[in-house]
Structure 1
């Protein structure tokens, strides 16, 4: 697939997907969603990639929401199909990918942009970032998982406040409420995100994959059992054997 809206760069087991629509503040249209989805499938199968970073081109916007022009005239059936297809092909895919996905939020993360960031496993932001879910100002609600993921990250009360008011919050406030992990100056954001990704990439890929599966079930009644089963399964995998051997031999493991 030839990409027109994204750029992919891989170095030292870390792949950076840059959404490259600066003229539209990197808004998500159907073509861009399809390209990101395709890129994730490709990177999932590549052994050279162990961690994925998603960011936006330029210094103004991570993703400034969905491209409203594409669905302005939809009826209920088409709108539901849009939301379902988007969640299944991209947002849920990010959350359930067995390789860690980190959002480097380099500016506006609004609507679908914030929903994409929330689907990522970790979120770093620049000091100039602004985050919000403005859908109710259009007579809508978040349709790409925002009403479900935001309460899990910040609690139901704060999620209601942000969704009902449609207000934007600063990166500093987002860190205070647990919506983003760390905040950095704009010029340091990508380097800091890559440093974390490179640290993660040195650890067991199988261990991380199993950890993602278990953490994703942490708010269900299946989480503890998944952790137990995964813990046992890893004992028969090469990564565990290498990790334990390296520990006993007082050397760094090579996964």
Structure 2
């Protein structure tokens, strides 16, 4: 059964709009990637298409790789095949003779942001959240993010975004140069279409992030920044491999060129994917999601009862702490103790905490 797809419509202006359609967050499943590649190949063959806008259905561009689909991969050969697909797809995007503009609303995370960086421009709404969050799963970006992000926002900010797995908002992304314009949601597609046609008509530059150099620091300063990132990583992740592998991939691209950096990134991604750390962090991710789904309760749409009073047996350290938290949240509390002396002591502890 297919999991997600892409949809395409071609307007009278010659712009093909391709929608990533995999609700609720338009995750990049294998089916989505195959469909996306197929639509790109189609528009490149069509004479009635001048330019392309890539966007997502609903209120999300793409939250990145479908972790559940990739978690089923058990053999290196399977992952290698998927990585070859991804590489072929990004090559088509970047080397196409027709410009692409990413129209971003909501999250563009991980592989979602990486695909947008292959486009010649990015237009977003104020609601956009952009980030490379792969390190939280024990791997590094695998769609070229280690190479394109530093060339768009500079080395220092790129390393910060990757190391912390922390998305940035649209306004900051615009200031950094990660997005080219911020527009209202109602104007997003029209602006993206116009921008794509402007590139096609040579009214705007045909930018390829992989080969930009204006945001890269001098070799000496870059070396200093990379070494500083390694020092910081040793402080918070001394026994973890993936932060240092990410830094090494970034460095390879700066020292030996972006193609060498892409090769190093691809090899590192495949190695880290099968590491115990990656498997454990993916397990943690799914475990956390499972806590919000209790069979026989959440799937039946049951609503929690309204709490009017809370009784606590014992006013010791733990009991008084629980009572304090409830009182601060405006719940009436009944405290029970074995005698009046212990009860007063518990009340005093609560007063002291409050």
Hey, what's the Cα distance between the residues in 1 that align with 2:90 and 2:187? 27
Residues of 1 paired with 2:78 and 2:162: CA distance? 19
> What are the equivalent positions in structure 2 for 1:9-20 lying under 5 Å apart?
9-11=9-11, 12-20=13-21
Q: 1:39 to 1:149 in 2, by over 3 A?
A: same
Partner of 2:36: 36
Runs of 4 or more, structure 1, over 6 Å off, are none
- The 5 Å alignment of 1:46-65 reads 46-59=46-59, 61-65=60-64
Which structure 2 segments of 5+ residues have no match? 214-253, 258-354
- Match of residue 100 from structure 2: 101
Alignment of 1:1-255 (within 5 A): 5-11=5-11, 12-23=13-24, 25-59=25-59, 61-74=60-73, 77-78=76-77, 81=80, 84-202=83-201, 217=211
User: Partners of 2:57 and 2:121 in 1: how far apart?
Assistant: 19
TM-score (norm 1): 0.75
CA distance in 2, matches of 1:87, 1:128: 27
1:117-173 CA distances to partner (integer Å, 9 max, x unpaired)? 111111001110001111111111111111111111111111100000000110111
> CA offsets per residue over residues 53-105 of structure 1, 9 Å max, x none?
0000012x100110001122545724751563243221222111111010001
Q: Select between 66-75 and 150-159 the one with higher mean Cα deviation.
A: 66-75
Residues 71 and 79, structure 1, Cα contact 8 Å, conserved in 2: no
Shift of 1:4: 6.4
Root mean square deviation, CA, Å: 2.8
Equivalent pairs, count: 213
- Higher mean displacement: 76-85 or 33-42: 76-85
Question: Matched residue of 1:63: which SS?
Answer: coil
> 2:63 touches 2:108 (CA, 8 Å); kept in 1?
yes
Offset from partner CA, 1:195-224 (integer Å, 9 cap, x none): 2223344459xxx8xx668x86565999xx
CA drift of 1:27 comes to 0.6
Instruction: Point out which structure has higher relative CO (alpha carbons under 8 A, 6+ apart).
Output: 1
- Write out per-residue CA displacement over residues 216-240 of structure 1, whole angstroms, 9 at most, x where no aligned residue: 6565999xxxxxxxxxxxxxxxxxx
Distance of aligned partners of 1:92 and 1:9 in 2 relative to their CA distance in 1, 3 Å threshold? same
Q: Are the structure 2 counterparts of residues 83 and 30 from structure 1 closer, same or farther at C-alpha, using a change threshold of 3 Å?
A: closer
Shift of 1:46: 1.0
Task: Give 1:19 deviation, angstroms.
Answer: 1.0
Name the CA shift for 1:193/1:31 in 2 (closer, same or farther; >3 Å). same
Higher gyration radius (CA) = 2
